[in-house]
């Protein structure tokens, strides 16, 4: 099943490029604050699944007639793994590795949707890079989960671009600007994706293929990422784990068009625009490092 958020926080089922609105049937209030509708749906999915499946028999809204939003807006946390592909570590010339150095957190406010632009902070002299990643979405509360049982805690998957300001400051700040974590176009349930151990990932910038990897080459596979994270922090429904990126990362600039595609998960294209602000005491506009 492909689940989407659209039209100001409404939730629907996407099938054959038609969105079947589930908002009323699942008792969602789109304007409620905080906007945890998708997180609640994930928690209650087994109970509401029959209602969602029945929606596809009704008329839907053509995908082209609405605007898709980030599938999850208010997770408890976004966990990310650095250097989870050997070749990415080599291209960055770092000794950092996911299996040795663990994970970090990325601000959930950096989440954006498949039709939102990536807004670049005004940081002359700094490169801002794309990173093509698989988003793993947790389906139920997990703590001290073994690798053997870890995949049972996955609700679904989505495409994710981890946008990064290059520099020496703490990576959490450099990766947490608003719009620096676009995900989408849909949240695809785990049963539809199947085995996540050999998924192709690709990313293009202006039709130039920049990244092409496969989850078979992950240093920490999906099960190990979940197990490691749950050994430290309780994982909750809707939590997002970013897999780490394959080699081929590179700069993006205002006017670029970025397309990410992950086998059996989806494809989305985003624009890049120049924003304002973003400078601070740690990241100086005249920094040359």
Do residues 143 and 237 share a domain?
yes
Single residue among 69, 95, 118 that ends a domain in this structure: 69
Q: Is residue 285 part of a domain?
A: no
How far apart CA 152 and CA 149 sit, in angstroms, is 6
Same domain, 45 and 127: no
- Please say if the pLDDT value at position 274 is more than 90: yes
Q: Is residue 117 part of a domain?
A: yes
- Residue 219 belongs to domain with CATH number: 3.90.850.10
For residue 289, being part of any structural domain is answered with: no
In this prediction, residue 285 has a pLDDT band, given cuts at 50, 70 and 90, of: low
CA distances from 237 to 42, 45, 178, 234, 242 (A): 6, 10, 23, 10, 15
Residue 81's contacts (CB-CB under 8 Å, 6 or more residues apart) are 98, 102, 103, 220, 225, 241, 242, 243, 244
Of 87-96, 98-107, 177-186, the least confident: 87-96
Helix intervals (H) in the chain: 37-43, 45-55, 86-92, 98-101, 171-174, 190-193, 222-232
The total number of structural domains in the chain stands at: 2
pLDDT digits (tens, 9 = 90+) for 140-159: 999 999 999 999 999 999 99
Look up the domain containing 151 and give its range: 78-274
Could you say which of 69, 91, 107 is where a domain stops?
A: 69
The verdict on residue 287 lying in a domain is no
Rounded to two decimals, what is the model's pTM?
0.96
22's tokens: 């589930």
């Amino acid at each position: 099943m492909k689940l989407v958020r659209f039209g100001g926080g409404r939730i629907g089922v996407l099938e054959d490029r038609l969105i079947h609105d589930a908002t009323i049937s699942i008792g969602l209030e789109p304007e409620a604050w905080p906007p945890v509708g998708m997180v609640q749906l994930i928690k209650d999915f087994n109970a509401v699944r029959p209602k969602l499946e029945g929606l596809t028999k009704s008329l839907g809204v053509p995908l082209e007639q609405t605007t898709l939003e980030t599938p999850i807006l208010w997770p408890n946390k976004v966990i990310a793994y650095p250097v989870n592909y050997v070749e990415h570590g080599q291209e960055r010339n770092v000794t950092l590795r996911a299996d040795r150095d663990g994970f970090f957190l990325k601000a959930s406010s950096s989440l954006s949707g498949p039709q939102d632009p990536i807004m670049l902070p005004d940081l002359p002299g700094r490169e801002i890079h794309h990173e093509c990643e698989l988003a793993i979405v947790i389906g139920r509360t997990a703590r001290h989960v073994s690798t053997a049982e870890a995949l049972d805690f996955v609700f679904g998957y989505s495409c994710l671009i981890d946008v990064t300001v290059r520099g020496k400051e703490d990576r959490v700040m450099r990766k947490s600007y608003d719009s620096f974590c676009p995900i989408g176009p849909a949240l695809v349930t785990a049963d539809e994706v199947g085995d996540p151990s050999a998924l192709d990932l690709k990313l293009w910038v202006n039709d130039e293929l920049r990244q092409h990897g496969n989850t078979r080459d992950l240093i920490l596979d999906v099960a190990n990422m979940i197990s490691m994270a749950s050994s430290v922090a309780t994982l909750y429904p809707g939590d997002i784990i970013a897999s780490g990126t394959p080699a081929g990362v590179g700069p993006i600039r205002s006017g670029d068009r970025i397309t990410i595609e992950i086998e059996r998960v989806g494809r989305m294209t985003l624009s890049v625009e120049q924003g304002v602000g973003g400078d601070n005491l740690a990241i100086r506009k005249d920094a040359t490092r």
